Structure 1
Amino acid sequence: MNYLEIENLTKSFGTLPVLCDVSLSISKGELFALLGPSGGGKSTLLRIICGFERPDRGSVSIEGVSVEGITYVPPERRHIGYVPQESALFPHLTVAENIAYGLDRAARRSRKRVDELLGVVGLPAAYAQRSPQELSGGQQQRVALARALAPRPALIMLDEPFSALDTALRAEMRQTVATALEAERATAILVTHDQPEALSLGDRVAVLIHGKIAQVDTPRALYANPADAELASFVGEAVFLPGVAADGVVDCELGRLPLAGVDVPAGQVQAMIRPERIRVARPGTNGAVPAIAEQIAFFGHDANVDVRLHATGRRVRLRLSGGHIPHIGEPLLLSVEGPVVAYPRH
């Protein structure tokens, strides 16, 4: 039996459909990432799980107990912890009082759980008596996470909790959240529109687009083998080339490449290649394709290099490590590492 079971949830606002027969199963202790563009239905699904919205039809069960559908359980009785985009701490309470807010009177008096959670989220015990206004944005989010974890809820809902933080702090907070959830053995759903966030944190990732689940998979499988071209473009950058598939290979402008999977029908296809799989080859490499570097976006640890293929004039993007960046105008030879994915071309 799955810890959280969502079946055929459907929701419209007026004539606008927001969720269309959404079904998901989440295991106990799993950190499940729900990824999708803005307006794709993520927040509505979260609100239905929490009980803040009612679906038009469908059901939600937690640990085998119906909370939506056969039986409706109000939000305050669903035992769900919630971490919003902004920390939403009570400004008139101390850090300790914020964390202890959902505990019973005896637990609040003992302070044991508060001290324990300060350690779990990486804050010194001395911060217990500070007010939220004395904390940085990242520290406030740590307190918000501790407050959600304090009563040991059945589920933790993380509603884009890093969106208000700067890039460096987001990376630090991702690790804090992952470590804290693992320490508490919590079951959690992370709602995000940020692909690296979902792929780096989720044990599994569900992509919700236009109110429908496009794919549910492990991060590696989702990135390497997206179900269709639209999903491939959404989950990371992708290079698409027309080609012809037959006998487990595809002939395209970057050569004769092996196909991932055995269910690609023969005929006209789009070959999908991740930019980091296109490599600069050594002179004399068999099957290498000549190109010229035209534009470079340098990020330090790596760079996007746009090249133009000599044979067809098509522009293609590579992602190269920061130590091996060509110069604009430099002639290159290109090869593709590993098998590629292909989709039927209509």
Structure 2
Amino acid sequence: MPALDLPFSRAAHDRAAHRRAEPRLVDDLRKEPGTRMLVLRGSQVATVGQRVALFAPDDVAHLAFSTHLFLGEADGVAYLAAILPEPGPESEHTPEADPGPDVDWAAMRALDVPDLEQGLAVEAFALAQWHAAHTHCPRCGAATEVTKGGWVRHCPVDGSDHFPRTDPAVIMAITDADDRLLLARGPEWGAGRRSVLAGFVEPGEGLEQAVARETMEEVGVTVDPASIEYRDSQSWPFPASLMLGFRARATTTRLVLQEDEIAEAGWFSREQFATALADGTLSSYGRNSIGRSLIEEWFGASLGG
């Protein structure tokens, strides 16, 4: 089967991990006029027009960045991410805090740009999220230092190194014997929003085990272990997940909902699904999510929008 077309899983650059050990890598690249830097602030990336802004170092030298991260190379160009502190509610806007008059800010979840820019932005955002949440050593509590181009945090007290982590999560299109798709709504979602089931992989658990366990826990449905089929994976750095897509066939259809996780769930034929989309009973799905891609694969057509 062809791979799914997943926006946050596309990239066109080499991460060049072999360069991370260079002693002054980031400092040296910040002095090179050919280096290009993308700028992040919270959950947003700086853009110009509809594209990710890629600045020369001198263009953003006036900004007070908290961290610089080495992202890799493409066609002889080195790329850095530069992280601005996220402004607080009382912060005043000043020119010194803005990359330039023509720059806008785009939410990462809505980013739709060429593969090079998207791959760089997703990598930068995922790495920045990890740094923001791991400022201190989990062993002794001391403040850690950023090393290896942003890919390690070193504890100067106990000498330990700490590396970025990604949490694996399964997301699955479950169908029954009549090829109806199981769709559910979380308690925090609006009335019309439904998607396929998903959940984090637990310690000591295989991916297929997680698919079966999460389906049973959330809706009380048993799946045939032999039917569990891997489809594709997608980085989902909100804040640090890797979504692993599957499809599987249910052996039972009676629904018993996990109250704190699932508000509604139901089986949809393709005709019922199309009708619900048309009359607004079901809302549109986020363009960038692997959940949408799994639904489209079952449905046999694009959801549009």
**Does TM, scored on the shorter chain, surpass 0.5?**
no
- Whose Rg is larger? 1
TM-score (norm 1): 0.26
TM-score by length of 2: 0.28
